[in-house]
Amino acid sequence: MAKGMSKSQVLSALAEKTGHSRKDVVMVVETLVSLAYSEAKKVGEFTIPGLGKLVKKQRAARMGRNPATGEAIKIPAKTVVKFRVAKAAKDAIL
């Protein structure tokens, strides 16, 4: 199975395709990531049109099982981050 692109390869490819300097592309990508983190934390979601949506979600407490001993344990409630892939991305990839 082929390996995915590294961060450096992605940034170089974006710079080449857009005709902008690699430094400018790095700044844009880092700004987008920073904005996504802050908006998801503050509002609870951040959408990248055509790609998907970062969603902050509260997971309820539940009962689980220790796989080593089989003992029932209580798993506490927690907040998780999920990424929902956009329909357009699914259609383009699959």
Is residue 2 over pLDDT 80? no
Cα 85 to Cα 33: distance, rounded to the nearest angstrom: 17
pLDDT tens column, 44-70: 999 999 999 999 999 999 999 999 999
Mean pLDDT of 1-23: 93
Region of residue 52 (phi > 0: left; psi between -120 and 50: alpha; otherwise: beta):
left
Show the 3-state SS of 12-41: HHHHHHHCCCHHHHHHHHHHHHHHHHHHHH
The amino acid sitting at 50 is G
Mean pLDDT of 2-17: 93
